[in-house]
Structure 1
Amino acid sequence: MKLEMICTGEEVLSGQIVDTNAAWFANLMMEHGIEVQRRVTVGDRMEDLVAVFQERSLHADIILVNGGLGPTSDDLSAEAMAQAKGEPLVENQEWRAHLEDWFSRNNRVMSANNLKQAWLPASAVMIDNPVGTACGFRVKLNRAWLFFTPGVPFELKHMVNEQFLPFVQQEFGINANVALHKILTFGHGESLLASKLEPLALPVGMTLGYRSSMPHIEIKLFARGDEAIAQLPQVAEQVKAALGTAVVAENKATLAEEIHHKLYRSGKTLSAAESCTGGLITSQLVAFAGSSSYLQQGLVTYSNESKVKVLGVKPQTLDDFGAVSIQVVEEMARGARSLLDCDYALATSGIAGPDGGTEEKPVGTVAIALATRNAVYSQMVKISGRSRDLVRSLSAAVAYDMLRRELDNEAVVVDYSSIRRYAK
């Protein structure tokens, strides 16, 4: 089966919005053992939509079309599909009744524009959308089924999970007997990881893939069939052994997610005192429900004055060593931990750039510390040739990794091949 995706919308094509729908869909399909073989992005122009529907339907077996089902004049997917098939639009009475009922129940006046969402190509099979006003539909053109979905992410995800996947499995007999194991790595480049894994002999029915999503690289092990699935745990252990300290989590998308789950289960508490990361450590954890059970506070102590008055950093320490130093970041971590008597505290202070660096401490120099009830661990790293955002993101990841290692009773500070570490 050849699966493709067509994404519509001027705002997507021009880069005004990031197409998170496409990334989510491709990743979900991969987890089901189905690879998206081509993705096309097209603007809100009738002739371009008609042309891409006709052209790709000659090559694909099934195409997910995302967007263009709304009530406005630039929502052209249904009309373009009708033109591509050479058939008229026909009002779907079932969806019109649904719209009228929805607006009535919500005490809202339905404009004439909303009725546009009930007009589908004559040969279309309507697809229910219980969480929105735009129904989906599917149409057969040439060799392909085109499956039309709304652009609203919540509506798309609901329709793909509830309608699209069952249709694909039924229509194409896709064997759902697949398994996926994800191994998250940090601090090492893809080429180095690949060189460590190349000697491994994978069983029949198992494949290995890489996904770079800075600051992480994810290793994906796909197993298809009972034999390969049975060997997946053993192969995963072999991969982890080959990668060593590069491995930071399994079946988690980020180090922040790994830290969240560990702290949530442990009953331990955490504070953060951030300078160059500017609240990034805290905000990534707050994204997870339940973080209030362990996250006590997040302090953005950006100025030297705030480091002194809020965290108790000694002015003399700042004068002697500067804000970006092991000595200062250790005092920041101790101060943050003691404020609410937390079990752990993370602290960062660095030069994210693009300006502010010196010969002694160039842009990308970051000091990071972890304070526990019994000790303080710290390191100074140099993150070279990276953007301001990536320096901050990598610094937060190093801090998370220090805490993860402490929670796992491992050495807190380790070497990363892609991040230089200064001696104290």
Structure 2
Amino acid sequence: MKLEMICTGEEVLAGQILDTNAAWVAAALMDHGVEMQRRMTVGDRLEDLVAVFQERSLHADVILVNGGLGPTSDDLSALAMAKAKGEPLVENAEWRERLTGWFERHNRAMPASNLKQAMLPESAVMVDNPVGTACGFRVRLNRAWLFFTPGVPFEFKHMVEEEFIPFLQEEFGLDTKVAVKKLLTLGQGESALADKLQPLELPEGITLGYRSSMPYIEIKIFARGDKAIGLLPRVSNHIRLVLGTAVVAEDRATLAEEVHHRLKGSGLSLSLAESCTGGMLTSELVAFPGSSSYLHQGLVTYSNESKVKVLGVNPATLDDYGAVSIATVAEMAQGARMLLDSDFALATSGVAGPDGGTEDKPVGTVAIALATRNGVYSQMLKLPRRSRELVRCLSAAVALDMLRRELLEQAVIVDYGTMERFKK
């Protein structure tokens, strides 16, 4: 099965909004063992949409079309599909009734423009949208099924999970059992990981996939068929051994998710003192419901004055070693932990750039500490030639990994490959 995706919209084409739908659906399909062959973006121009529908329908088996189903004049997907097939738009009575009912239930008058959303190509099969006003539809053209979905992410995800994937399974007989194990890695590039795993002789039915989502690389281990699924735990464990400390979580999207699940309900508590990460650690953790059960506080102590007055850092430490130092970040972590007698505290301080570096501490120098009831672990890393955002993301990830390792009673400070540690 050759599956492609066409994303529509001037805002997406111009980069004014990020196409999160495309990234999400590619990952969701991979979890079912389905790989996307091609993806393209087309603006809101009728002739361009008609041309691309006609051209790609000669090559693909399925084309997922995202966007252009709204009520405004620049929502052209249905009209373009009708023209590509040489047929009229006709009103879908079922969806018109659904639209009318939706507005009545919400005590709102339905704008006349919304009736446009009930106009579908004559040969279209309506696809339900239980969470929005734009129905989807599918149409056969040349060798391909074109499956049209709304651009609103919440609606799009519902339709993919409840309509599109079941359609693929039924239409193309995707009945082979598929299992996926996901290993989250930190500190190794995709090529370095591939070099380590390339020599492995994988059993029949087991394949590897890589997904970069900075600061992580996710390795997906696919097992297709009962025999391969039975071997998946053994293969996954072997890959973990080969990659060593590069693997930082299993079946989690981020280290924040991993740490959250280990702390939630544990009875343990955490405080955070952030300088270069500027609240990133706190934000990543509070994104998960239930984080209040363990997170005492998140303090952004950006200035030296706040480090002294809020966290109790000794002014002499700042004078002697500077804000970006093992000594300072250790005192930051200790001070944050003691404020509310937390079980753990993390602290970060660094030169995120693009300015502010010195010969001794160039841009990309970061100091990270973990304070526990039994002591403090501290380290300084060199993260050169990274953007300001990536320096902050990597710093937050390493801090969380230090805590994760402590919770698992593992060595807290390890080598991360591409992130060099200061030895002194």
Structure 1 length-normalised TM? 0.99
Residue 6 of structure 1 pairs with residue 3 of structure 2:
no
Stretch moving more, 13-22 or 262-271: 262-271
Alignment partners' CA distance in 2, 1:224 and 1:61: 22
Sequence identity percentage = 75
SS in 1 for 2:310: helix
Structure 2, unpaired ranges of 5+? none
CA deviations over 1:124-175 (Å, ceiling 9, x no partner): 1111111000011111001111110000001011111111111111111112
CA contact (8 A) 1:91 1:118 kept: yes
Cα distance in 1 between the residues matched to 2:298 and 2:72: 43
Residue 382 of structure 1 aligns with an amino acid whose one-letter code is: K
Deviation of 1:93 (Å): 1.0
What does residue 65 of structure 1 align with? 65
Q: CA deviation at 1:266?
A: 2.3
- Deviation, 1:288, is 1.0
The 5 A counterparts of 1:203-282 are: 203-282=203-282
**1:23-422 equivalences in 2 (<5 Å):** 23-422=23-422
* Partner amino acid, structure 2, of 1:357: G
Mapped to 2, the partners of 1:191 and 1:14 lie a distance apart of 30
Please tell me whether the aligned partners of residues 32 and 176 of structure 1 are also in contact (alpha carbons under 8 angstroms). Answer: no
Could you tell me which amino acid in structure 1 is paired with residue 244 of structure 2?
G
Return the alpha-carbon distance in structure 1 between the equivalents of residues 233 and 365 of structure 2: 39
Partners of 2:337 and 2:345 within 8 A in 1:
yes
Q: How far is the alpha carbon of 1:76 from its aligned partner?
A: 0.2
Instruction: Provide the rounded CA distance (Å) in 2 between the counterparts of 1:399 and 1:182.
Output: 22
Deviation digits for residues 255-299 of structure 1 (CA, Å, limit 9, x no counterpart): 111111111142211110000000011101111111111111100
Q: Deviations over 1:60-90 (max 9, x none)?
A: 1111110000000000000000000000000
Superposed displacement of residue 176, structure 1:
4.4
- Name the CA distance, whole Å, in 2 between partners of 1:213 and 1:94: 42
Residue type of the alignment partner of 1:214: M
CA contact (8 A) 2:278 2:302 kept: yes
SS of the residue corresponding to residue 72 of structure 1 reads coil
Confirm or deny: 8 A CA contact 1:81 1:121 kept in the other structure: yes
Instruction: Give the 3-state SS of the residue equivalent to 1:87 in structure 2.
Output: coil
What TM-score results when the alignment is normalised by the length of structure 2?
Answer: 0.99
> In structure 1, the residue corresponding to 2:37 is in which secondary structure?
strand
Q: What amino acid is the match of 1:338?
A: M
Q: Distance in 1 between matches of 2:152 and 2:146?
A: 18
Amino acid at match of 1:394: L
Separation in 2 of the partners of 1:416 and 1:179?
29
Determine the C-alpha separation between the residues in 1 that align with 2:191 and 2:72. 47
Q: How far did residue 198 of structure 1 move?
A: 2.0
SS in 2 for 1:7: strand
Aligned to 2:423: 423
The 1-side partners of 2:191 and 2:129 are apart by 44
Partner AA of 1:217 in structure 2: I
Equivalent AA in structure 1 for residue 184 of structure 2 = L
Q: Which moved more, 1:147-156 or 1:184-193?
A: 184-193
1:381 aligned partner, one-letter code: L
1:42 shift after superposition:
0.3
> SS where residue 166 of structure 1 aligns?
helix
1:327 counterpart letter in structure 2: A
Structure 1: runs of 5+ lacking an equivalent: none
- Paired residue type of 1:114: N
Supply the distance in 1 between the matched residues of 2:386 and 2:187 (Cα, whole angstroms). 14
- Contact 2:307/2:313, CA 8 A, preserved across alignment: yes
- Is contact 2:126–2:135 with CA below 8 Å preserved after alignment? yes
* Alpha-carbon distance, 1:190 to partner: 2.1
In the TM superposition, residue 192 of structure 1 has moved relative to its aligned partner by 2.2
* Equivalent residue letter for 1:347: A
Q: Is this contact kept in 2: 1:351–1:362, CA < 8 A?
A: yes
Distance 1:212 1:173 in 2: 30
Number of residue equivalences? 424
Which of structure 1's runs of 4+ aligned residues deviate more than 3 A?
none
Letter in 2 for 1:72: T
Distance 1:66 1:212 in 2: 23
Q: Secondary structure at the match of 1:398?
A: helix
Q: SS of the counterpart of 1:266?
A: coil
Separation of aligned partners in 1, 2:63 and 2:88: 21
Give the Cα–Cα distance (whole angstroms) in 2 for the partners of residues 319 and 7 of structure 1. 55
Structure 1 residue 194: Cα displacement: 1.9
CA contact (8 A) 2:265 2:293 kept: no
Q: Secondary structure at the match of 1:311?
A: coil
Residue identity matched to 2:189 = G
Residue identity in the other structure for 2:56: R
Please give the alpha-carbon distance, in whole angstroms, between the structure 1 residues aligned to 2:240 and 2:391.
Answer: 27
8 A contact 1:271–1:296 mirrored in 2? yes
Shift of residue 2, structure 1, vs aligned partner: 1.0
Q: 1:199 Cα deviation (Å)? A: 2.2
